[in-house]
Structure 1
Amino acid sequence: MRRRAILLLLALSDVAVAQNLPFRDAARPAEQRAADLVARLTLAEKAAQLKDDAPAIPRLGIPAYAWWSEGLHGVARAGDATVFPQAIGLAATWDAPLVQAVADTVSTEFRAKYLATRHPDGSSDKYRGLTVWSPNVNIFRDPRWGRGQETFGEDPYLTGRMGVAFIRGLQGPDAGRPRTIAAVKHFAVHSGPEADRHREDVHPSAHDLEDTYLPAFRAAVVEGGVQGLMCAYNAIDGVPACASPLLASQVRGRWGFKGHVVSDCAAIADIVMPTSHGYVPTSQQAVATALNAGTDLFCAEFGLGKSHDPQIIVDAVRQGLVKPGVLDRAVTRLFEARFRLGVIGVGAAPRPAIAATDFDTPGHRARALDAARKSIVLLKNDGVLPIAGTPRRIAVIGPNADSVDALVGNYAGTPSAPVTVLAGLRQRYPQADISFVEGTGLVGAPLKPVPADVLCIDRDCGTRGVRVDEFAGTALAGAPVRAATDTAVRFGWGRPERRERATSIRWTGYVTAAETGPYRFRLTGDGGYRIRVDGRTVVDAWDAADPASIADGEIALRAGQRYPLVVEAIQTGGRGDQRLEWSNFGARGDAAVAAARDADLVVFVAGLTAKLEGEEMRVHAPGFAGGDRTSLDLPRPQQDLLERVQATGRPLVLVLMNGSALGVDWADRHVGAIVEAWYPGGEGGQAVAEMIAGDFSPAGRLPVTFYRDAGQLPPFGDYRMAGRTYRYFTGEPLYRFGHGLSYTRFAYGTPQLGRARIRAGDTATLSVRVTNTGHVDGDEVVQLYGSQAAPGAPLRALMGFARITLKAGESRDVRFAIDPRTMSVVDPAGRRAVAPGIVDLWVGGGQPGAAAGHKPPAGAATRLTITGTHALD
């Protein structure tokens, strides 16, 4: 006891002395404080700080810190939060000030979550810190990529503008005291396929690298002032991205980045794993190559066998693979960030007044609704929309009509009161008779919760329900901490705010088939699971690496027969909600067709969810592979039902909810109105209903090209930009990048150039008068494109855009300043310069011309002449 007391007194003495050390002085710059602190750490203490779950340093009063937080379109994975439209939907607003306001709100909610969940010692939990691994500015080069939904689309200029806006919103105006720290990702070239990302070695041409893959990252660093950057899984020219010389030459050299670099999770392990890059033979060499290249923080595993033991880093230093100064540099950068954020105990800088309850507020949800309204793109309208008056009978059909998954996309929080499209229509048309028939699931017959009356504890069915055994931890190990019976296979612990939870459960009993035929089983939720029926493994998705994907399985059952049932599942994270679902494949959508036939209006809500497209997933369905897509078509069951519903001849609105372009060529030829709603966030259903009703005029624009089918594209694994995106695609798309219709009309005057002839290196100015010539108030997205016959130049490139609001009959002058970088081109050798010659400019509501079968947008053309050449870094 005496020895323990002495040690405690010594520890308290160390902390007391630490209060007077320079790193505790909040008046000093973060760089000085960090350098002073790092100089006092042991080698082992420094090494441990390179983990994303950095441990506390009690002797100096430094709390633990969890670096890993996700904020792609709201605070993710941390319970209730405002869920904004997915990033691709935010891009479809073409409204950079709105995107910045959204990110500002997200940063407020991160601060609130941090305050609400911070432990008494100042430490934080995973997903509840202030270092936000967002935005994703990778180029959505191919619509088959499942993670494309996380990006701002296919265009480097639009992506750069949106990325800068999001970063400024997250970090705030004071670089020395950011509200949160953004980490732009994934550097570089990363854009699928998902199945190959841990071993993919990309060899982009010098032209494509400078012209397409790097500009948005440069904008994030140079203009956005981003303080964090995440390196990718793939290799670039033979070197894993987190060890790439581009980190030093481009990011820190040419762009002047001063912040910290974090690896994508387990990307350092990929450097050494023989099944991944296998770039070096030992774990010590893996961390050394990353640190020496400029990576500072390791997410998750960074050694063979998926180890995350900091002793690997210690050994790398002792073996001379990493110089002590290199390790100090990395740790110093990390502590600089924490000092700027004010998350280190005594001496933390004061922050703007944010309360622990300032998340998921009515005001924040109102902003999410505004963003959802502005993200909606009207793809086609043959006069069906807006709906006149109030239909007496509305049939709502489709797998996404009442789906929360279709609202939130991936990397999402939990909306406390989500408004699906069905709920939105019922709110908007309270007097209408609204029937809902799902008709089909996403990729098969719809799955429904297994009803309680078919479940029994024993074979004789003396007791209804199932036996529940719950275990501490995720391995079903040890004695159950809870043993009970329940009426159904379901679980949910609500939405805890304080901490992550981790349990596992085994449900056992018997299930009786209602009909003879093939049944599919699935457990909803966010954790791994297994399902066994009649002793057969129907689903084995125990590996939770892809818990969000749709994992189901089929088994033939006979009506009235009772089968043994075992369901085992892991519950982690902030939700843990799970339920057992099944489907009999006998249903063909007859009820949906009947409902459509009896309706005055049919709203068919189709598309995808993040359980089909996303990050490195396991999806067994035609048209999908590893989280990516192999087809751009609607899944066959949805397409078949859509055709049957359309054949009823009733007025039909097709609402698409998805994160990537769909090749809805048949629908474009046969359906009167098509709406692209993306994954519109927690308030999305209200926005869709209001748009259908004509409460506002839609003005979203496509941030990606909608191709007719995948056959128009080069192979997915080909990273060359030739034949991709509107900038290099020479075919006829279904809907062009920048396309979107309105309920009103706009006219453009003659564009006026400040000077029709400029010297290379000067800034050009263009102004144009835009008039709302229709009878409805509305927004117009004014788009400026340029094309030039110079080596390496794209067919056409976006040079500016502005979203404006005009009342019916109102006019406004819109002015663009085209700086040298915006009008520059990249030659085949990768050299960027403003080239001499004529630049054909077009300003209008979309690209000049139109896809086949569609009217061209309003707009006007002019020409700019450039003399001389001006090279750019």
Structure 2
Amino acid sequence: MSAAERLPFHDSALSTRKRIDDLLGRLTLDERIAMLHQYSPAVPRLGIAAFRTGSESLHGVAWLGLATVFPQAVGLGATWDEELVRRVAEATSVEQRAFHYHRPTMIGTGRGPNSLQAWAPVLNLLRDPRWGRNEEGYSEDPVHTARIGVAFCRGLTGDHHRFLRTAPVLKHFLAYNNEDDRCVTSSALRPRVLQEYDLAAFRPVVASGAATGAMAAYNLVNGRPCHVTPLIETELRRWAEPTGHELFVVSDAEAPSNLVDPEHYFDDHAESHAAALKAGIDSFTDHGEDSATPFGRLREALDRGLIDEADVNRAVRRQLEIRFRLGEFDPDLDPYAGIGPEVIDCAEHRALALQAATESVVLLRNTGLLPLDATRARRIAVIGPLADTLCEDWYSGTLPYQVTVADGLEAVLGDHDGEVVVADGADRVALRSRTSGELLGKTVFDVVDWGDGVLTFRSVENGRYLSLKRDDGSLAADQEQIKSWDVAETFRLVPVDDSVLFQNVLTGRYAVVDPVDGRVSVTAETPDAAERWEHELLRDGTAEALAAAVSSDVAVVVLGNHPLIHGRETEDRKGIALPPSQDSLLRAVAGVRRETALVVMSSYPYALDWADEHLPAVVWTSHGGQETGRALAAVLLGQAEPSGRLPQTWYRADDELPDPLDYDVIKAGWTYQYHRTPPLYPFGHGLSYTGFAHRDLVLSSATVTQDASVDVSVTLTNTGLRPGSEVVQLYVRALDARYEAPRLRLADFRKVGLAAGASRVLTFRLPADALSHWDVATGAFTVDPGHYEVLVARSAENVVLTAPLTVVGPAPSPRALVGHRVLAVDFDDYSAATIVDATRTTGDAVTPAEPGSASATLLFRSADLSGAVRVEAEIASDNGDPGERLEFWTDEGLLAEIPVPATGGRYEWTTASAELAVPAAGVHDLRVVLHGTFRLTGFRFSATG
């Protein structure tokens, strides 16, 4: 565009707001509506390029080819190192810029360069270790998650005063922690859980100004889909207001369509898209590159009056602000223009990947076997399905190279004239057709059992995975990695008499052999139609592993998960036990080689009771990326300190975990804060090769007012003979709470490296609001006066120092009920109740969790009922059965009973009332009992009839 054609929105001297106003005014309405799709088209007449929201950047640039692969997010969380995480994100964003400038877009053509909007980090809390996407989050704790999240966002954005290097988008808002039926399940969050737990992970990151956007989650919260939740505006965007920037909120893939099918929350797509736009969704990731369908729905919504032009403009304005901040309209001022393609997987990023992988390793148990001495452990057997392979997960880039555990150990031992012997524990088998006599795939396979009978077959000839071709049902051993949305590389062998059937897990179909040409296809729908295969064991994998262990000085058994098998996006784990085949391999090896170290390489915790009792050493790492093996070798051989600490609780095998859909961390007993059974390995746990002493815990004051702070100091000393790192963890707990308080709660932490014998005084600023809880009576955070403890700990179960702290201030008053509307969800405790939506757009209601069975009870503690003579309740009921009623009780008996009338539907509300049996007086615990299937959103006591 010539200088004469330059328009005001090109003028970098103008404020961004004025430039956006100018550009917005030049776009036609249809052009603006088109910009609401993920693939925003170019506007050639204005010289505006196409724009695509979102590149996956969780632990390195994903889906665009070879790129530096850092440890999974849960591994980054295990480092507890904010500066390291910031540097990882910085490297990721630099590579994302390189892809943007120098590599074509991965999907489609003519859609412009790869996006500079980074869909990361994931701030969902790791409440349940069975969550299929456990690998994507940082920890189970909101303070830890928020701190690591801020660091990652700052690394992505860069520190330029005007331009973003990339624009981070927080995932996934909100309370998303199950994959099974994720698009139709509802996470019931009472206000305390909502405010103290789930929102607490997002709030500090948004308030810091480091985040530029957020992505709504697939699930529902309190009966309402996250894509239409009012929390986008009332919470997310409210937190961002002081930063001077609005958040650009995007949908998750296909989630706008889910509002109609499968959620059936709205009757048609025009209505659902309108509701999402008005709720705050600015970009619709729906129908892939088919912009026409979402455009048509939004255009129809506009024509029907469901949205207006102002709704469209508001969303487009937020997109344009991001694009201006990314420098799209100021190419001459672009501070990142010099980034070249050579930064992708450069030497600096490789070194950083090694550091991140090393710092993420957690030493769970050690009775002296580790660190290994390379001059004495001359021969090491590396055993197990992950001994000599690395895995990619769904959100990782393509590994530019792989340093496996075997590779890493071999490189070090080779310098000491030692050796590594590898035994993956896989059986080598031949499957021969009884029809043709030919081998399946014309080869023999090494078979790995990942649990639940799910197997992978790797060709001995080329080392590649056997894969189903879904277009014709044929098979080919042609996959170097298992990495696709629909995993076609997993199979089952189904015993039938003296033969087996060969079944694909994805399709459920069985292999058959064409009697004419002998071609194998996996097309049979039933076992009766399937081919019978003779199963011949050519090599016993366990026997080979035992031979390797017996002939070696030490055995390192590397077990864990494949990130695309059992526990992944769309699939939760059923339990936390190791696959039986892995467990039996471990026990067998330990039975012949006492010097056995277990390395768990996994996306999530396992129950390792037997290993903890019988093995001298247990180590955990996430799937740590390209440098995993070098990092583990450094830790195992003592070249590096095991400085990682667990970001979530590792439970015992016999610990009955709550139901995956029970999101009430308080009542269900989730995480270290509320779990009542001692875990195997607690949150924050991690051993060291050196020793640390904590002493002289000093508070600047023994008392604090409700709006003040105290300084907390502690002296840390490395008492060992080698340098090391310690994570000093500062917790707090209430000693005499009037509410169900956490057992303890993380308030601060710091990772510190010390030379042998060195000491350092650490100081923390502890604000009183670190002691706060959400007061349901006032609808705000409050710090109760009373007695608290400040704790310095090495983990949530290993407290080393405590100090008392007293909060002074006015005592909380009883809950005033008379003349005040009380929200039903603002209960102190409950039984057999669940939370649902009051309307499709706003408000919560309570209803019995199991309609037709036991009644639901809500408890409101310390309620002042003085002078109350009447109560009225806001009720919605589909049917108004004669037995449906609402009761109000105190310790003195039944106060009132309200028959529930039919209102015509769950969103049709009416007010029903009753006189109290006798006038109420004084402060009582009030119980509200719901009998029936109706909904209650609020009630009010009055002093007059």
TM-score bracket, shorter-length normalisation: 0.7 to 0.9
Q: Report what 1:697 is aligned to.
A: 641
Secondary structure at the counterpart of residue 711 of structure 2? strand
Residue 612 of structure 1 pairs with residue 600 of structure 2: no
Secondary structure at the counterpart of residue 172 of structure 2? strand
Structure 1 CA distance for aligned equivalents of residues 509 and 378 of structure 2: 40
Q: Tell me by how many angstroms 1:609 deviates.
A: 2.0
Structure 1 CA distance for aligned equivalents of residues 714 and 624 of structure 2: 32
**Structure 1 pair 39–306 and aligned structure 2 pair: CA distance change class (3 A):** closer
Q: Report what 1:106 is aligned to.
A: 92
Secondary structure at the counterpart of residue 357 of structure 1? helix
Structure 1 CA distance for aligned equivalents of residues 397 and 797 of structure 2: 39
Structure 1 CA distance for aligned equivalents of residues 260 and 54 of structure 2: 23
The one-letter amino acid paired with 1:265 is A
Residue 419 of structure 1 pairs with residue 403 of structure 2: yes
**Structure 2, unpaired ranges of 5+:** 444-460, 494-498, 524-533, 813-945
Q: Report what 1:401 is aligned to.
A: 387
Do the aligned partners of 1:438 and 1:446 also contact (CA within 8 Å) in 2? no
Secondary structure at the counterpart of residue 141 of structure 1? coil
Q: 1:816 pairs with 740, 743, 764, which one?
A: 764
How much identity, in percent, do the aligned residues show? Answer: 36
Q: 2:249 pairs with 253, 261, 264, which one?
A: 261
Structure 2 CA distance for aligned equivalents of residues 691 and 563 of structure 1: 52
Residue 682 of structure 1 pairs with residue 623 of structure 2: no
Structure 2 CA distance for aligned equivalents of residues 362 and 526 of structure 1: 29
**Structure 1, unpaired ranges of 5+:** 1-14, 467-486, 493-502, 512-520, 543-551, 569-581, 618-626, 850-856
The one-letter amino acid paired with 1:312 is R
Structure 2 CA distance for aligned equivalents of residues 401 and 267 of structure 1: 39
Q: Report what 1:539 is aligned to.
A: 504
Q: Report what 1:332 is aligned to.
A: 317
State the structure with more CA Rg.
2
Q: 1:837 pairs with 786, 789, 797, which one?
A: 786
**Structure 1 pair 211–682 and aligned structure 2 pair: CA distance change class (3 A):** same
The one-letter amino acid paired with 2:323 is R
Secondary structure at the counterpart of residue 737 of structure 1? coil
Structure 1 CA distance for aligned equivalents of residues 563 and 722 of structure 2: 36
Residue 343 of structure 1 pairs with residue 316 of structure 2: no
Structure having the higher strand fraction is 2
Do the aligned partners of 2:174 and 2:216 also contact (CA within 8 Å) in 1? yes
Structure 1 CA distance for aligned equivalents of residues 567 and 326 of structure 2: 31
Structure 2 CA distance for aligned equivalents of residues 29 and 659 of structure 1: 46
Structure 1 CA distance for aligned equivalents of residues 625 and 380 of structure 2: 24
After TM superposition, list the pairs within 5 Å mapping 1:123-134 onto structure 2: 128-134=114-120
Do the aligned partners of 2:428 and 2:541 also contact (CA within 8 Å) in 1? no
Secondary structure at the counterpart of residue 55 of structure 2? coil
Q: TM-score, normalised by structure 2?
A: 0.75
Residue 152 of structure 1 pairs with residue 138 of structure 2: yes
Q: Tell me by how many angstroms 1:539 deviates.
A: 2.4
Root-mean-square deviation (CA, aligned residues, Å) is 3.5
Q: Report what 2:721 is aligned to.
A: 775
The one-letter amino acid paired with 1:693 is L
Structure 2 CA distance for aligned equivalents of residues 313 and 584 of structure 1: 60
Q: Report what 1:221 is aligned to.
A: 206
The one-letter amino acid paired with 2:17 is E
Q: TM-score, normalised by structure 1?
A: 0.81
What do residues 553-596 of structure 1 show as CA deviations (whole Å, max 9, x unaligned)?
A: 87699xxx99422489xxxxxxxxxxxxx996774511111211
Structure 1 CA distance for aligned equivalents of residues 407 and 229 of structure 2: 49
Do the aligned partners of 1:750 and 1:768 also contact (CA within 8 Å) in 2? yes
Structure 2 CA distance for aligned equivalents of residues 696 and 869 of structure 1: 52
Q: 1:370 pairs with 355, 375, 381, which one?
A: 355
Do the aligned partners of 1:446 and 1:583 also contact (CA within 8 Å) in 2? no
**Structure 1 pair 296–689 and aligned structure 2 pair: CA distance change class (3 A):** same
Q: Report what 1:297 is aligned to.
A: 283
Residue 195 of structure 1 pairs with residue 180 of structure 2: yes
Q: 1:77 pairs with 63, 69, 75, which one?
A: 63
Q: 2:671 pairs with 708, 718, 725, which one?
A: 725
Do the aligned partners of 2:193 and 2:665 also contact (CA within 8 Å) in 1? yes
Q: Report what 1:565 is aligned to.
A: 520
Q: Report what 1:207 is aligned to.
A: 192
Do the aligned partners of 1:393 and 1:434 also contact (CA within 8 Å) in 2? yes
Q: Report what 2:230 is aligned to.
A: 245
Do the aligned partners of 1:372 and 1:681 also contact (CA within 8 Å) in 2? yes
Q: Tell me by how many angstroms 1:491 deviates.
A: 11
Do the aligned partners of 1:756 and 1:865 also contact (CA within 8 Å) in 2? yes
Q: Tell me by how many angstroms 1:703 deviates.
A: 0.7
**Structure 1 pair 137–585 and aligned structure 2 pair: CA distance change class (3 A):** farther
Do the aligned partners of 1:74 and 1:81 also contact (CA within 8 Å) in 2? yes
Structure 1 CA distance for aligned equivalents of residues 502 and 565 of structure 2: 22
Structure 1 CA distance for aligned equivalents of residues 573 and 567 of structure 2: 10
The one-letter amino acid paired with 1:845 is R
Q: Tell me by how many angstroms 1:70 deviates.
A: 0.5
Structure 2 CA distance for aligned equivalents of residues 40 and 422 of structure 1: 61
Structure 1 CA distance for aligned equivalents of residues 315 and 623 of structure 2: 38
Residue 526 of structure 1 pairs with residue 514 of structure 2: no
The one-letter amino acid paired with 2:788 is V
Q: Which moved more, 1:818-827 or 1:834-843?
A: 818-827
After TM superposition, list the pairs within 5 Å mapping 1:52-91 onto structure 2: 52-91=38-77
Do the aligned partners of 2:511 and 2:521 also contact (CA within 8 Å) in 1? no
Structure 2 CA distance for aligned equivalents of residues 246 and 154 of structure 1: 22
What do residues 292-320 of structure 1 show as CA deviations (whole Å, max 9, x unaligned)?
A: 011100112399x9984411111111111
The one-letter amino acid paired with 2:685 is H
Q: Tell me by how many angstroms 1:465 deviates.
A: 7.9
**Structure 1 pair 584–52 and aligned structure 2 pair: CA distance change class (3 A):** farther
Structure 2 CA distance for aligned equivalents of residues 677 and 490 of structure 1: 25
Do the aligned partners of 2:483 and 2:564 also contact (CA within 8 Å) in 1? no
Q: Report what 1:861 is aligned to.
A: 802
Residue 663 of structure 1 pairs with residue 607 of structure 2: yes
Q: Report what 1:592 is aligned to.
A: 545
Secondary structure at the counterpart of residue 394 of structure 1? strand
Q: Tell me by how many angstroms 1:848 deviates.
A: 4.8
Q: Report what 1:632 is aligned to.
A: 576
Q: Tell me by how many angstroms 1:792 deviates.
A: 4.0
Residue 95 of structure 1 pairs with residue 112 of structure 2: no
What do residues 498-547 of structure 1 show as CA deviations (whole Å, max 9, x unaligned)?
A: xxxxx998696999xxxxxxxxx99945365879999x9842747xxxxx
The one-letter amino acid paired with 2:780 is R
- Matched positions, count: 757
Structure 2 CA distance for aligned equivalents of residues 412 and 710 of structure 1: 33
Structure 2 CA distance for aligned equivalents of residues 781 and 764 of structure 1: 21
Do the aligned partners of 1:99 and 1:165 also contact (CA within 8 Å) in 2? yes
Q: Report what 1:578 is aligned to.
A: none
The one-letter amino acid paired with 1:270 is N
Q: Report what 2:703 is aligned to.
A: 757
Structure 2 CA distance for aligned equivalents of residues 80 and 860 of structure 1: 48
**Structure 1 pair 318–810 and aligned structure 2 pair: CA distance change class (3 A):** same
Do the aligned partners of 1:56 and 1:63 also contact (CA within 8 Å) in 2? yes
The one-letter amino acid paired with 1:696 is A
After TM superposition, list the pairs within 5 Å mapping 1:304-323 onto structure 2: 308-323=293-308
Do the aligned partners of 1:18 and 1:24 also contact (CA within 8 Å) in 2? no
**Structure 1 pair 17–643 and aligned structure 2 pair: CA distance change class (3 A):** same
Q: Tell me by how many angstroms 1:181 deviates.
A: 0.2
What do residues 269-312 of structure 1 show as CA deviations (whole Å, max 9, x unaligned)?
A: 11111xx2211111111110011011100112399x99844111
Structure 1 CA distance for aligned equivalents of residues 103 and 719 of structure 2: 53
Q: 1:716 pairs with 660, 669, 672, which one?
A: 660
Q: Tell me by how many angstroms 1:820 deviates.
A: 3.5
Do the aligned partners of 2:465 and 2:481 also contact (CA within 8 Å) in 1? no
* Higher RCO structure (Cα 8 Å, ≥6 apart): 1
Q: Tell me by how many angstroms 1:711 deviates.
A: 3.9
**Structure 1 pair 393–127 and aligned structure 2 pair: CA distance change class (3 A):** farther
Secondary structure at the counterpart of residue 12 of structure 2? coil
Q: 2:751 pairs with 793, 803, 816, which one?
A: 803
Structure 2 CA distance for aligned equivalents of residues 255 and 868 of structure 1: 31
Structure 1 CA distance for aligned equivalents of residues 646 and 762 of structure 2: 21
